[in-house]
A and B are shown apart, each in its own frame.
Chain A
Amino acid sequence: MASEKGIKLLDFWVSPFGQRARIALAEKGVEYEHKEENLLAEKSELLLKSNPVHKKIPVLIHDGKPVCESLIIVQYIDEVWPDKAPLLPSDPYQRAQARFWADFVDKKVFECGGRLWKLKGEEQEAAKKEMIEILQILEAQLGDKKYFGGDTFGFVDVAFVPLTSWFYSCETCANFSVEAVAPKIVLWVQRCMERESVAKTLSDPKKVYEYVRFLKKRFRIE
Protein backbone atom coordinates (compact mmCIF):
# COMPACT_ATOMS: atom_id res chain seq x y z
CA MET A 1 0.00 0.00 0.00
CA ALA A 2 2.82 2.42 0.85
CA SER A 3 4.23 2.54 -2.65
CA GLU A 4 0.91 3.16 -4.43
CA LYS A 5 0.70 6.64 -5.93
CA GLY A 6 -2.48 8.65 -6.27
CA ILE A 7 -5.53 9.52 -4.23
CA LYS A 8 -8.31 7.20 -3.19
CA LEU A 9 -11.40 8.07 -1.17
CA LEU A 10 -13.25 5.31 0.69
CA ASP A 11 -16.82 6.50 0.97
CA PHE A 12 -20.50 5.57 1.33
CA TRP A 13 -22.97 7.28 -0.99
CA VAL A 14 -25.23 8.90 1.59
CA SER A 15 -22.61 9.78 4.18
CA PRO A 16 -22.43 13.53 4.80
CA PHE A 17 -18.96 12.95 6.23
CA GLY A 18 -17.71 11.43 2.99
CA GLN A 19 -19.35 14.29 1.14
CA ARG A 20 -17.28 16.82 3.09
CA ALA A 21 -14.15 15.21 1.66
CA ARG A 22 -15.61 15.03 -1.85
CA ILE A 23 -16.60 18.71 -1.83
CA ALA A 24 -13.12 19.71 -0.62
CA LEU A 25 -11.43 17.63 -3.33
CA ALA A 26 -13.76 19.07 -6.00
CA GLU A 27 -13.13 22.65 -4.85
CA LYS A 28 -9.39 22.01 -5.23
CA GLY A 29 -9.82 20.34 -8.62
CA VAL A 30 -8.01 17.24 -7.38
CA GLU A 31 -8.49 13.98 -9.29
CA TYR A 32 -9.05 10.90 -7.23
CA GLU A 33 -10.44 7.38 -7.30
CA HIS A 34 -13.76 7.09 -5.53
CA LYS A 35 -14.31 3.71 -3.88
CA GLU A 36 -17.81 3.01 -2.64
CA GLU A 37 -17.92 0.87 0.50
CA ASN A 38 -21.04 -1.11 1.16
CA LEU A 39 -21.51 -0.38 4.87
CA LEU A 40 -24.64 -2.53 4.96
CA ALA A 41 -22.52 -5.58 4.14
CA GLU A 42 -19.00 -6.55 5.23
CA LYS A 43 -16.35 -3.85 5.39
CA SER A 44 -13.59 -4.22 2.81
CA GLU A 45 -10.03 -5.33 3.63
CA LEU A 46 -8.78 -1.96 2.46
CA LEU A 47 -11.09 -0.07 4.82
CA LEU A 48 -10.16 -2.26 7.80
CA LYS A 49 -6.46 -1.85 6.99
CA SER A 50 -6.67 1.91 6.39
CA ASN A 51 -8.77 2.74 9.44
CA PRO A 52 -8.07 -0.05 11.95
CA VAL A 53 -8.99 2.17 14.91
CA HIS A 54 -12.50 3.24 13.90
CA LYS A 55 -13.22 1.09 10.80
CA LYS A 56 -15.26 3.97 9.39
CA ILE A 57 -15.49 6.00 6.22
CA PRO A 58 -14.44 8.42 4.91
CA VAL A 59 -10.78 7.52 4.55
CA LEU A 60 -8.54 9.47 2.20
CA ILE A 61 -5.57 7.43 1.03
CA HIS A 62 -2.86 9.67 -0.41
CA ASP A 63 0.12 7.83 -1.96
CA GLY A 64 -0.71 4.88 0.24
CA LYS A 65 -1.01 6.88 3.48
CA PRO A 66 -4.49 6.95 5.05
CA VAL A 67 -6.09 10.02 6.65
CA CYS A 68 -9.26 9.47 8.71
CA GLU A 69 -12.03 11.61 10.26
CA SER A 70 -13.83 13.93 7.83
CA LEU A 71 -12.82 17.32 9.26
CA ILE A 72 -9.22 16.16 9.63
CA ILE A 73 -9.35 15.04 5.99
CA VAL A 74 -10.71 18.43 4.86
CA GLN A 75 -7.93 20.28 6.73
CA TYR A 76 -5.37 17.91 5.22
CA ILE A 77 -6.71 18.57 1.71
CA ASP A 78 -6.59 22.31 2.39
CA GLU A 79 -2.97 22.10 3.56
CA VAL A 80 -1.70 19.86 0.76
CA TRP A 81 -3.36 21.94 -1.98
CA PRO A 82 -3.22 25.45 -0.50
CA ASP A 83 -3.12 27.44 -3.73
CA LYS A 84 -6.59 26.77 -5.07
CA ALA A 85 -9.81 27.62 -3.21
CA PRO A 86 -8.37 27.97 0.33
CA LEU A 87 -10.95 26.61 2.76
CA LEU A 88 -9.47 27.90 6.00
CA PRO A 89 -8.60 31.59 6.37
CA SER A 90 -4.97 32.63 6.85
CA ASP A 91 -5.52 34.64 10.05
CA PRO A 92 -5.09 32.48 13.21
CA TYR A 93 -8.15 33.93 14.95
CA GLN A 94 -10.38 33.42 11.89
CA ARG A 95 -9.04 29.87 11.65
CA ALA A 96 -9.93 29.26 15.30
CA GLN A 97 -13.43 30.58 14.63
CA ALA A 98 -13.80 28.29 11.60
CA ARG A 99 -12.64 25.30 13.63
CA PHE A 100 -15.03 26.20 16.45
CA TRP A 101 -18.08 26.36 14.20
CA ALA A 102 -17.16 23.20 12.29
CA ASP A 103 -16.75 21.48 15.66
CA PHE A 104 -20.13 22.88 16.78
CA VAL A 105 -21.79 21.49 13.63
CA ASP A 106 -20.02 18.15 14.21
CA LYS A 107 -21.07 17.81 17.82
CA LYS A 108 -24.61 19.10 17.54
CA VAL A 109 -26.31 18.80 14.15
CA PHE A 110 -25.91 15.15 13.13
CA GLU A 111 -26.42 13.67 16.59
CA CYS A 112 -29.54 15.72 17.28
CA GLY A 113 -30.82 15.07 13.77
CA GLY A 114 -30.41 11.36 14.35
CA ARG A 115 -32.55 11.53 17.46
CA LEU A 116 -35.20 13.40 15.50
CA TRP A 117 -35.81 10.57 13.06
CA LYS A 118 -35.03 7.64 15.38
CA LEU A 119 -37.17 8.55 18.37
CA LYS A 120 -40.83 9.19 19.05
CA GLY A 121 -43.03 10.98 21.56
CA GLU A 122 -41.46 13.06 24.32
CA GLU A 123 -37.89 12.19 23.38
CA GLN A 124 -38.50 13.33 19.82
CA GLU A 125 -40.10 16.57 21.04
CA ALA A 126 -37.04 17.24 23.20
CA ALA A 127 -34.76 16.61 20.22
CA LYS A 128 -36.89 18.94 18.08
CA LYS A 129 -36.60 21.73 20.64
CA GLU A 130 -32.84 21.22 20.73
CA MET A 131 -32.53 21.17 16.94
CA ILE A 132 -34.47 24.42 16.65
CA GLU A 133 -32.07 26.02 19.15
CA ILE A 134 -29.05 24.67 17.24
CA LEU A 135 -30.41 26.00 13.93
CA GLN A 136 -31.12 29.41 15.47
CA ILE A 137 -27.55 29.62 16.76
CA LEU A 138 -26.22 28.75 13.31
CA GLU A 139 -28.65 31.20 11.67
CA ALA A 140 -27.34 33.97 13.94
CA GLN A 141 -23.76 33.01 13.14
CA LEU A 142 -24.42 33.11 9.39
CA GLY A 143 -26.23 36.43 9.64
CA ASP A 144 -26.23 38.31 6.38
CA LYS A 145 -23.01 36.79 5.12
CA LYS A 146 -22.89 34.95 1.82
CA TYR A 147 -21.15 31.99 3.46
CA PHE A 148 -20.19 31.16 7.04
CA GLY A 149 -16.64 32.34 6.39
CA GLY A 150 -17.75 35.57 4.71
CA ASP A 151 -17.51 36.13 0.96
CA THR A 152 -15.69 32.91 0.21
CA PHE A 153 -16.91 29.33 0.56
CA GLY A 154 -14.91 27.73 3.34
CA PHE A 155 -14.39 25.17 6.07
CA VAL A 156 -17.63 25.68 7.98
CA ASP A 157 -19.68 25.62 4.78
CA VAL A 158 -18.01 22.32 3.79
CA ALA A 159 -18.65 20.92 7.27
CA PHE A 160 -22.32 21.86 7.39
CA VAL A 161 -23.78 21.74 3.88
CA PRO A 162 -23.80 17.91 3.45
CA LEU A 163 -25.87 17.61 6.64
CA THR A 164 -28.57 19.79 5.10
CA SER A 165 -29.64 16.92 2.80
CA TRP A 166 -30.99 15.34 5.97
CA PHE A 167 -33.24 18.31 6.82
CA TYR A 168 -36.13 16.91 4.78
CA SER A 169 -35.98 13.62 6.72
CA CYS A 170 -35.88 15.43 10.06
CA GLU A 171 -38.72 17.74 9.08
CA THR A 172 -40.89 14.87 7.86
CA CYS A 173 -40.24 12.57 10.83
CA ALA A 174 -40.55 15.26 13.49
CA ASN A 175 -43.04 17.56 11.83
CA PHE A 176 -41.31 20.91 11.75
CA SER A 177 -39.94 23.32 9.17
CA VAL A 178 -36.30 24.38 8.95
CA GLU A 179 -37.30 27.34 6.79
CA ALA A 180 -39.67 28.64 9.45
CA VAL A 181 -36.90 28.55 12.03
CA ALA A 182 -33.84 29.40 9.96
CA PRO A 183 -34.73 31.04 6.62
CA LYS A 184 -31.19 32.41 6.09
CA ILE A 185 -29.76 28.90 6.39
CA VAL A 186 -32.17 27.71 3.69
CA LEU A 187 -31.04 30.52 1.36
CA TRP A 188 -27.41 29.71 2.19
CA VAL A 189 -28.00 26.08 1.14
CA GLN A 190 -29.36 27.32 -2.20
CA ARG A 191 -26.28 29.50 -2.70
CA CYS A 192 -24.01 26.55 -1.91
CA MET A 193 -25.91 24.41 -4.41
CA GLU A 194 -24.91 26.91 -7.13
CA ARG A 195 -21.38 25.61 -6.68
CA GLU A 196 -20.62 22.60 -8.85
CA SER A 197 -18.65 20.90 -6.06
CA VAL A 198 -21.73 20.92 -3.84
CA ALA A 199 -24.40 20.27 -6.49
CA LYS A 200 -22.57 17.20 -7.80
CA THR A 201 -21.90 15.81 -4.33
CA LEU A 202 -24.94 16.24 -2.10
CA SER A 203 -27.51 13.48 -1.97
CA ASP A 204 -31.05 14.23 -3.08
CA PRO A 205 -32.99 14.83 0.16
CA LYS A 206 -35.76 12.49 -1.05
CA LYS A 207 -33.20 9.69 -1.54
CA VAL A 208 -31.84 10.38 1.95
CA TYR A 209 -35.39 10.04 3.28
CA GLU A 210 -35.79 6.67 1.51
CA TYR A 211 -32.56 5.56 3.19
CA VAL A 212 -33.79 6.84 6.57
CA ARG A 213 -37.04 4.88 6.15
CA PHE A 214 -35.00 1.79 5.28
CA LEU A 215 -32.90 2.26 8.45
CA LYS A 216 -35.98 2.77 10.60
CA LYS A 217 -37.41 -0.54 9.36
CA ARG A 218 -34.08 -2.18 10.02
CA PHE A 219 -33.78 -0.86 13.56
CA ARG A 220 -37.28 -2.00 14.40
CA ILE A 221 -36.59 -5.47 13.06
CA GLU A 222 -33.45 -5.61 15.17
Chain B
Amino acid sequence: MAETAKLLGTKGSPYSHRAEVALRLKEANFEFLHEDLAHKSDMLLRYNPIHKKIPVLVHGEKSIVESLIVVEYVDEAFDGYAILPSDPYERAMARFWARYIDEKVIPAFWMSCWTDGEMQKGFIAQAKETLTTLEGQLKGKKFFGGDSIGFVDLAAGMVAFWFGILQEVAGINLLNEEDYPVLCRWADDYCSIEPVKESLLDRKLLVAHFASKKEKIFATKAPVYD
Protein backbone atom coordinates (compact mmCIF):
# COMPACT_ATOMS: atom_id res chain seq x y z
CA MET B 1 0.00 0.00 0.00
CA ALA B 2 1.60 3.26 -1.11
CA GLU B 3 -0.51 5.40 1.18
CA THR B 4 1.23 7.09 4.10
CA ALA B 5 0.55 5.36 7.37
CA LYS B 6 -0.28 7.32 10.49
CA LEU B 7 1.05 6.29 13.88
CA LEU B 8 -0.85 7.67 16.86
CA GLY B 9 1.51 7.58 19.79
CA THR B 10 3.66 9.44 22.25
CA LYS B 11 7.41 9.68 22.45
CA GLY B 12 7.26 8.92 26.15
CA SER B 13 5.68 5.50 25.64
CA PRO B 14 7.80 2.37 25.22
CA TYR B 15 4.82 0.71 23.50
CA SER B 16 4.56 3.49 20.93
CA HIS B 17 8.36 3.13 20.54
CA ARG B 18 7.99 -0.49 19.39
CA ALA B 19 5.64 0.50 16.58
CA GLU B 20 7.75 3.49 15.55
CA VAL B 21 10.99 1.51 15.35
CA ALA B 22 9.24 -1.19 13.30
CA LEU B 23 8.11 1.42 10.75
CA ARG B 24 11.57 3.00 10.65
CA LEU B 25 13.24 -0.38 10.12
CA LYS B 26 11.01 -0.88 7.08
CA GLU B 27 11.77 2.67 5.89
CA ALA B 28 8.01 3.07 5.63
CA ASN B 29 6.31 6.36 4.84
CA PHE B 30 4.53 7.36 8.00
CA GLU B 31 3.34 10.35 9.91
CA PHE B 32 3.72 10.44 13.70
CA LEU B 33 0.67 11.98 15.34
CA HIS B 34 1.34 12.92 18.95
CA GLU B 35 -1.47 12.04 21.31
CA ASP B 36 -2.19 14.00 24.44
CA LEU B 37 -3.27 11.09 26.64
CA ALA B 38 -5.02 13.42 29.07
CA HIS B 39 -7.25 14.58 26.21
CA LYS B 40 -7.57 11.67 23.80
CA SER B 41 -8.26 12.67 20.22
CA ASP B 42 -11.41 11.72 18.32
CA MET B 43 -9.15 9.84 15.96
CA LEU B 44 -7.76 7.66 18.77
CA LEU B 45 -11.19 6.91 20.16
CA ARG B 46 -12.52 6.10 16.69
CA TYR B 47 -9.67 3.79 15.75
CA ASN B 48 -9.25 2.06 19.12
CA PRO B 49 -12.71 2.11 20.69
CA ILE B 50 -12.13 -0.99 22.79
CA HIS B 51 -8.89 -0.20 24.60
CA LYS B 52 -8.57 3.55 23.83
CA LYS B 53 -4.78 3.27 24.01
CA ILE B 54 -1.74 4.11 21.92
CA PRO B 55 -0.06 3.05 19.74
CA VAL B 56 -2.59 2.91 16.93
CA LEU B 57 -1.42 2.40 13.38
CA VAL B 58 -3.80 3.72 10.75
CA HIS B 59 -3.03 2.29 7.32
CA GLY B 60 -5.52 3.22 4.64
CA GLU B 61 -8.78 3.27 6.53
CA LYS B 62 -7.74 0.30 8.65
CA SER B 63 -6.47 0.51 12.19
CA ILE B 64 -4.20 -1.87 14.01
CA VAL B 65 -3.72 -1.72 17.79
CA GLU B 66 -1.72 -3.41 20.58
CA SER B 67 1.99 -2.72 20.13
CA LEU B 68 3.22 -6.25 19.40
CA ILE B 69 0.33 -6.87 17.00
CA VAL B 70 1.25 -3.61 15.25
CA VAL B 71 4.88 -4.77 14.95
CA GLU B 72 3.82 -8.12 13.44
CA TYR B 73 1.49 -6.31 11.04
CA VAL B 74 4.25 -3.92 9.95
CA ASP B 75 6.56 -6.88 9.43
CA GLU B 76 4.01 -8.60 7.18
CA ALA B 77 2.53 -5.59 5.34
CA PHE B 78 5.76 -3.80 4.46
CA ASP B 79 8.70 -5.13 2.45
CA GLY B 80 12.30 -4.90 3.48
CA TYR B 81 13.83 -5.59 6.87
CA ALA B 82 12.75 -8.86 8.48
CA ILE B 83 11.68 -8.17 12.06
CA LEU B 84 10.54 -11.70 12.86
CA PRO B 85 12.54 -14.75 11.78
CA SER B 86 11.17 -16.91 8.97
CA ASP B 87 11.50 -20.28 10.73
CA PRO B 88 8.28 -21.23 12.59
CA TYR B 89 10.14 -22.45 15.71
CA GLU B 90 12.26 -19.29 15.89
CA ARG B 91 9.10 -17.22 15.44
CA ALA B 92 7.45 -19.09 18.32
CA MET B 93 10.51 -18.39 20.48
CA ALA B 94 10.45 -14.69 19.55
CA ARG B 95 6.75 -14.42 20.42
CA PHE B 96 7.35 -16.29 23.70
CA TRP B 97 10.10 -13.93 24.88
CA ALA B 98 8.20 -10.80 23.79
CA ARG B 99 5.26 -12.01 25.85
CA TYR B 100 7.58 -12.80 28.79
CA ILE B 101 8.83 -9.23 28.68
CA ASP B 102 5.27 -7.87 28.71
CA GLU B 103 3.85 -10.21 31.34
CA LYS B 104 6.81 -10.68 33.69
CA VAL B 105 9.81 -8.40 33.14
CA ILE B 106 7.99 -5.07 32.81
CA PRO B 107 5.40 -5.49 35.60
CA ALA B 108 8.02 -6.68 38.15
CA PHE B 109 10.36 -3.78 37.35
CA TRP B 110 7.57 -1.21 37.29
CA MET B 111 6.20 -2.29 40.66
CA SER B 112 9.75 -2.38 42.11
CA CYS B 113 10.01 1.33 41.29
CA TRP B 114 6.68 2.43 42.73
CA THR B 115 6.23 0.43 45.93
CA ASP B 116 8.03 0.47 49.26
CA GLY B 117 8.67 -1.69 52.29
CA GLU B 118 8.08 -5.43 52.18
CA MET B 119 6.06 -5.19 48.98
CA GLN B 120 8.96 -3.54 47.21
CA LYS B 121 11.38 -6.20 48.46
CA GLY B 122 9.14 -8.86 46.94
CA PHE B 123 8.90 -7.08 43.59
CA ILE B 124 12.66 -6.45 43.50
CA ALA B 125 13.31 -10.15 44.02
CA GLN B 126 10.92 -10.93 41.15
CA ALA B 127 12.47 -8.25 38.94
CA LYS B 128 15.98 -9.61 39.53
CA GLU B 129 14.85 -13.09 38.56
CA THR B 130 13.14 -11.94 35.37
CA LEU B 131 16.13 -9.78 34.35
CA THR B 132 18.46 -12.74 34.87
CA THR B 133 16.20 -14.97 32.78
CA LEU B 134 15.99 -12.36 30.04
CA GLU B 135 19.74 -11.77 30.05
CA GLY B 136 20.21 -15.52 29.63
CA GLN B 137 18.45 -15.28 26.26
CA LEU B 138 21.22 -13.11 24.86
CA LYS B 139 23.64 -16.05 25.34
CA GLY B 140 26.57 -14.95 23.15
CA LYS B 141 24.43 -12.99 20.66
CA LYS B 142 24.76 -9.31 19.95
CA PHE B 143 20.99 -8.84 19.97
CA PHE B 144 18.03 -11.03 20.89
CA GLY B 145 17.41 -11.25 17.15
CA GLY B 146 20.98 -12.37 16.45
CA ASP B 147 23.35 -10.10 14.50
CA SER B 148 20.64 -7.52 13.95
CA ILE B 149 17.68 -6.35 16.03
CA GLY B 150 14.41 -8.23 15.84
CA PHE B 151 11.02 -8.69 17.48
CA VAL B 152 12.31 -9.37 20.98
CA ASP B 153 14.73 -6.41 20.87
CA LEU B 154 11.83 -4.08 20.02
CA ALA B 155 9.73 -5.63 22.77
CA ALA B 156 12.63 -5.06 25.18
CA GLY B 157 13.06 -1.40 24.17
CA MET B 158 11.62 -0.40 27.53
CA VAL B 159 14.37 -2.35 29.27
CA ALA B 160 17.06 -0.71 27.13
CA PHE B 161 16.02 2.91 27.59
CA TRP B 162 13.18 3.37 30.05
CA PHE B 163 14.36 1.09 32.88
CA GLY B 164 17.46 3.21 33.58
CA ILE B 165 15.34 6.36 33.64
CA LEU B 166 12.63 4.88 35.86
CA GLN B 167 15.05 3.51 38.43
CA GLU B 168 16.86 6.84 38.57
CA VAL B 169 13.61 8.66 39.32
CA ALA B 170 12.52 5.98 41.80
CA GLY B 171 15.88 5.96 43.56
CA ILE B 172 16.66 2.27 43.13
CA ASN B 173 19.51 0.52 41.35
CA LEU B 174 18.30 -2.72 39.80
CA LEU B 175 19.63 -2.78 36.25
CA ASN B 176 23.35 -2.08 36.49
CA GLU B 177 26.50 -3.22 34.72
CA GLU B 178 27.82 -5.11 37.72
CA ASP B 179 24.78 -7.36 38.04
CA TYR B 180 23.72 -7.50 34.39
CA PRO B 181 26.79 -6.83 32.21
CA VAL B 182 25.41 -8.59 29.12
CA LEU B 183 21.99 -6.94 29.30
CA CYS B 184 23.53 -3.48 29.84
CA ARG B 185 25.90 -3.97 26.90
CA TRP B 186 22.88 -5.01 24.78
CA ALA B 187 20.97 -1.92 25.94
CA ASP B 188 23.78 0.38 24.74
CA ASP B 189 24.02 -1.44 21.41
CA TYR B 190 20.24 -1.37 20.92
CA CYS B 191 20.00 2.36 21.62
CA SER B 192 22.82 3.06 19.16
CA ILE B 193 20.93 1.59 16.20
CA GLU B 194 19.89 4.47 13.92
CA PRO B 195 16.12 3.77 13.66
CA VAL B 196 16.01 3.32 17.45
CA LYS B 197 17.98 6.52 18.12
CA GLU B 198 15.61 8.45 15.87
CA SER B 199 12.60 7.35 17.86
CA LEU B 200 13.95 8.02 21.34
CA LEU B 201 13.32 11.22 23.26
CA ASP B 202 16.20 13.06 24.86
CA ARG B 203 16.98 11.18 28.09
CA LYS B 204 16.98 14.33 30.24
CA LEU B 205 13.46 15.19 29.03
CA LEU B 206 12.16 11.74 29.90
CA VAL B 207 13.79 11.82 33.36
CA ALA B 208 12.18 15.21 33.99
CA HIS B 209 8.84 13.90 32.78
CA PHE B 210 8.78 10.90 35.11
CA ALA B 211 10.17 12.93 38.00
CA SER B 212 7.30 15.39 37.62
CA LYS B 213 4.76 12.54 37.66
CA LYS B 214 6.47 10.56 40.45
CA GLU B 215 3.90 11.19 43.19
CA LYS B 216 0.98 10.42 40.92
CA ILE B 217 2.53 7.18 39.70
CA PHE B 218 3.42 6.13 43.25
CA ALA B 219 -0.18 6.63 44.30
CA THR B 220 -1.91 4.95 41.37
CA LYS B 221 0.81 2.62 40.04
CA ALA B 222 -0.61 3.52 36.62
CA PRO B 223 1.85 4.48 33.90
CA VAL B 224 1.84 8.05 32.61
CA TYR B 225 3.60 8.07 29.30
CA ASP B 226 2.91 11.43 27.77
Contacts and interface: CB of A to CB of B under 8 A. Distances in A.
Interface in B51-93: 59, 62, 64-66, 69-70, 72-73, 76-77, 88-89, 91-92
B11 interface: no
A96 B64 contact: yes
Interface in A14-46: none
Question: Most B CB atoms within 10 A — which of A76, A92, A95, A99?
Answer: A92
B76 A100 contact: no
Interface of B: 50, 59, 62, 64-66, 69-70, 72-73, 76-77, 88-89, 91-92, 95-96, 99-100, 133
Given A93-B62, A96-B64, A76 B88 contact: yes
B72 A137 contact: no
Interface of A: 53, 62, 65, 67-69, 72-73, 75-76, 79-80, 92-93, 95-96, 99-100, 103-104, 137
Contacts of A68: 96
Given A72-B95, A99-B69, A100-B65, A93 B89 contact: no
Question: Most A CB atoms within 10 A — which of B65, B70, B95?
Answer: B95
Given A96-B64, A137-B50, 9 more contacts: A69-B95, A69-B99, A72-B99, A75-B91, A76-B91, A93-B77, A95-B73, A99-B72, A103-B66
Contacts of A104: 50
Nearest to A77: B88
Given A53-B133, A92-B73, A99-B72, A72 B65 contact: no
Contact of B64 (A62, A65, A76, A93): A93
A75 B77 contact: no
B45 to A, nearest CB: 15
A101 to B, nearest CB: 10
A80 B65 CA distance: 26
B50 A79 contact: no
B99 A100 contact: no
Main secondary structure of the interface of B (DSSP, over half): helix
A92 B72 CA distance: 9
Contacts of B91: 75-76, 79
24 contacts: A53-B100, A53-B133, A62-B89, A67-B92, A67-B96, A68-B96, A72-B95, A73-B92, A75-B91, A76-B92, A79-B88, A92-B73, A92-B77, A93-B62, A93-B73, A95-B72, A95-B73, A95-B76, A96-B70, A96-B73, A99-B69, A100-B64, A104-B50, A137-B50
B3 to A, nearest CB: 13
Given A72-B96, A75-B95, A93-B59, A103 B89 contact: no
Contacts of A67: 89, 92, 96
Nearest to B64: A96
B156 to A, nearest CB: 15
Given A92-B77, A95-B76, A100 B66 contact: yes
Contacts of A53: 100, 133
Nearest to A82: B88
Contacts of B96: 67-69, 72
Contacts of A96: 64, 69-70, 72-73
